[in-house]
Amino acid sequence: MKAETAIILAAGRGSRMHSETPTALHAVAGRPIIDWMLGEMESCIKMPPVIVDRPGQEIAAHVGERARYAVQPEPIGEADALQRGCELLPDGDALVLVLCGNLPLVDQTYLEAVMQAAQRDRAAMLTYADEDTAEMHACGIYCCEAALLKQAAQRCAPEDSLEEWVNAMGALGVEAHALMVAETSMPAVADRRTLSLCESLANAAIVQRHFENGVTLLDPASVSIGADVIIGQDTVLWPNVVLAGKTEIGAKCVIKGGCQLTDTRVGDGCTLTYVVANQAELGAGIAAGPFVNLRPGTRIADGCKIGDFVEVKNSNVGQGTKLPHLSYIGDADIGSGVNVGCGCVFVNYDGYAKHRTTVGDNVFLGCQTNLVAPVTVGDGAYTAAGSTITHDVPPGAMAFARARQNNKEGYVEKFRSLKKK
């Protein structure tokens, strides 16, 4: 079954969060609370929900056309917010869900249960018992007929709470059916502590899902996995790994400790150690690390090796190319089978603009080569160690761009004697 629509009350200041950001836009497992809620209720309602927003409409800017909006000019009270949401509701006995906008762990199963109870009894709500005092509390999820919702809201003062709105329904002769759930199953985000609690619970659920999909986590408690992350079968995550955004990890990878991957795609069979990557794409069979920084726009083809202390930014690296260590590759197009020697720098910035470097297939860049962009090194070319390349290198050529060595016999002894005087 489906409710006609829903009202999400999200205009409160959330003063205990000590934040200018609306509570509904705080993230849990990398996803804003409001997105968690909209995702779970999507299949439970016929019409887009009504979100009661603040005057700045930050939530509306984020959610866009997925919802309709009412604005509460001042955070007078929950009843006032509810009354404003009611203005966009249909008439009649169609069911409407009412939710507080701070419930990231709301579950479709609970929504269906409260709707079924409301269909039978005209109104229903989810409650839990305090583990210490056994006192009953509302979870912030309600369902009732639209006409009943409006009538009860009209009986409330603007500063009244949702509890008093429920009492108003009782005065109209309808007692909300109370369904009990476990206290820890669906906590509301009221402050930073409960935000952290929701983060832990969400991460535990995400970890369990990956277990069931054939992923190994050596220390699940130390791993953080975003809600939208995809991981292939037989991949192993070592302790202290962070996977965020829309990161995708292929099958049979080993992601070792210290890796932080955000919105990054990793192919099958890769081994990463202390890799920080943001908006990067890695092919299959890549070995990278330790201490590698892959910045946005980086695309690494299959079979590459990236060694320690290498940074790559906005560059394409061809199949089987080696970037062994201590190098910076920025704004470059590198072919296949290239060897980038230790300490090479792709000099891409002239103080005013960025320029690209092109390196062909099977090129050998000697240690501490500086490639001053814009410049092209042709297929099969070599650069001598210590060279600063400022002009194009033809295919198959050897480029020397360094001062000629000059040995002065006996100069050391002469130098020392001068120092003694």
How high is the pLDDT of residue 1? 86
Q: What is the CATH number of the domain that holds 245?
A: 2.160.10.10
User: 255 lies in a domain?
Assistant: yes
How high is the pLDDT of residue 44? 95
* Residue 52 φ/ψ, nearest 5 degrees: -85, 110
User: 418 lies in a domain?
Assistant: no
115 and 52 part of one domain: yes
How high is the pLDDT of residue 186? 80
Q: What is the CATH number of the domain that holds 34?
A: 3.90.550.10
- Look up residue 354 and give its DSSP letter: B
280 and 367 part of one domain: yes
What are the Cα distances from residue 87, in Å, to 9, 45, 50, 91, 123? 14, 18, 10, 10, 19
User: 407 lies in a domain?
Assistant: no
Domain boundary among 124, 146, 180: 180
19 and 151 part of one domain: yes
User: 410 lies in a domain?
Assistant: no
Q: What is the span of the domain harbouring residue 317? A: 198-399
* Residue 84 φ/ψ, nearest 5 degrees: -70, -35
36 and 168 part of one domain: yes
Residue 325 a catalytic site member: yes
Whole-angstrom distance, CA of residue 381 vs CA of residue 385? 13
Please tell me which residue in 26, 62, 177, 325 is annotated as part of the active site. Answer: 325
User: 32 lies in a domain?
Assistant: yes
251 and 165 part of one domain: no
User: 148 lies in a domain?
Assistant: yes
How high is the pLDDT of residue 279? 98
Q: In a structure prediction context, what are the per-residue pLDDT tens digits for the chain, which is 421 residues long?
A: 899 999 999 998 778 999 999 999 999 999 999 999 999 999 999 999 999 999 989 999 999 999 999 999 998 999 999 999 999 998 888 999 999 999 999 999 999 999 999 999 999 999 987 777 767 788 899 999 999 999 999 999 999 999 999 999 999 999 999 988 876 678 899 999 999 999 999 999 999 999 999 999 999 999 999 999 999 999 999 999 999 999 999 999 999 999 999 999 999 999 999 999 999 999 999 999 999 999 999 999 999 999 999 999 999 999 999 999 999 999 999 999 999 999 999 999 999 999 999 999 999 999 999 999 999 999 999 999 999 999 999 999 999 998 888 898 988 888 888 877 6
How high is the pLDDT of residue 137? 82
101 and 168 part of one domain: yes
271 and 367 part of one domain: yes
37 and 65 part of one domain: yes
DSSP states along 240-306: S-EEETT-EE-TT-EE-TT-EEES-EE-TT-EESSEEEES-EE-SS-EE-SSEEE-TT-EE-TT-EE
Let me know the angle formed at the C-alpha of 160 by 159 and 164, rounded to the nearest 5 degrees.
175
How high is the pLDDT of residue 375? 98
Whole-angstrom distance, CA of residue 318 vs CA of residue 315? 10
User: 217 lies in a domain?
Assistant: yes
Q: Indicate yes or no: pTM above 0.85.
A: yes
113 and 207 part of one domain: no
Quote the tokens at residue 272.
Answer: 């990463």
23 and 89 part of one domain: yes
Whole-angstrom distance, CA of residue 305 vs CA of residue 264? 17
Domain boundary among 180, 215, 235: 180
234 and 370 part of one domain: yes
- Number of structural domains (the chain) is 2
User: 123 lies in a domain?
Assistant: yes
138 and 232 part of one domain: no
SS3 395: coil
* Cβ pair 191, 124 in contact under 8 A: no
Domain boundary among 180, 209, 236: 180
